[in-house]
Amino acid sequence: MIVVLVAAFMWLLVAVLLILRRGRAERNITYAALTIAIAMTLNIDQAYRILDRYAGGTNLVTLVADATLMIGVFLLGRAVMRASEHQPRAAQVALGRFTLAAALTGAVGTFLLIDRGITTTSFMIELGEQPAAAAYSMIQFTYYAIVLAAMAALAARQFRGSEGAQRMPPASLLLGSISGVALSIIVITMDLAHMVRNLNLMAGVAIAYEPLHLLTFLFLCLGFAGQPAARTLQARSRDQNTRTLVHDLEPIWAAATTARPGISQIENASFNTADPETLLHRQVVEIRDAMIDTRVEFDVSADDRQLIERAERYLLGTRSSDAAPVAPPARQSQH
């Protein structure tokens, strides 16, 4: 049931990313989600039995599904790394191709040493006593722990550098990565306990497996789906704030261009009034030009001056209330 839920989460994430990230050149997150969704689908009992029957009935689909999941986690980590401004050397190594290649080589090598028997949907439960099977599982989950620990470090850095709604995606990624590291530790402990036949220890730690499995993918899905969603909401919020400032500056701008006509009064000028950011920038420039031009009589009140400075800080992307205003433009005859 947990595998079905996780597969559903991943396919839903693929759909969300295809909608919210359409047109974007960076596709690592979408490819990662698609790869992991395929891997989780292969692990659904009904699909596994059918496919493994065609693969010879020796649990070869287990290797295909696990290798696909490892590649998906690799792509996931690369997507997080590319979204980070600062990438520590340790994170680059953990999320690099060499680490993935070493893990895949180890997994394939140990898998081939397992006496796999016939098709089973309880691969590790039935075969986990074999040292090769334990090593096979531990190699995978050690790799997951390394990648997810690096992702957690990068997500924590993104969280500290964000504010407001932008903090939600890295917070979800951080929680998902921490849950994944904990899940890896649980699985490795189960593998060791099974190999030495300490079934009480294995059963005791196995209680945490399904909740951590579900939480890992739930938080990771929320984090990756939340990134484009948060950017969309932020863009809408900025557009609304820009239009509000344009509206508030309208009477000051009208007075300024009456006193000193600017490019906005030139017919067929290359000036796009349909873009709020462009219009706001033009308003601020022409108001400032009128304020510094000694040939014209134009002055503004203290409240209007504060509004102009607020618009300047906004265009610079500064939210600090004590930020210095933009220096007025040099005197020009026309803009």
In tens digits, what is the pLDDT along the chain, a chain of 335 residues?
Answer: 788 989 998 999 888 888 876 656 567 788 999 999 999 999 999 999 999 999 999 999 999 999 999 999 999 998 888 877 677 888 889 999 999 999 999 999 999 999 998 999 999 999 999 999 999 999 999 999 999 999 999 999 888 877 776 788 889 999 999 999 999 999 999 999 999 999 999 999 999 999 999 999 999 988 888 766 666 666 777 788 888 888 888 888 888 888 887 655 554 455 566 778 888 888 888 888 888 887 878 888 888 889 888 888 888 874 433 333 333 333 333 33
Tokens of 35: 């790869």
Nearest to 92 by CA among 106, 79, 78: 78
Q: Does domain 2-232 have CATH number 1.20.1070?
A: yes
Q: Residue 313, Cα to own-chain centre: how many angstroms? A: 28
What per-residue string of b and e applies to 89-112 under the rule 16 or more CB within 10 Å gives b? eebeebbbeebbeebbebbeebbe
What helix, strand, coil percent values describe the chain, rounded to 5? 75, 0, 25
- In the three-class reduction of DSSP (H, G, I as helix; E, B as strand; rest coil), residue 312 is classed as helix
State the Cα torsion 206-211-212-217 to the nearest 10°.
140
How many helices (H) and strands (E) would you count in the chain? 13, 0
**Parts of the chain belonging to CATH 1.20.1070:** 2-232
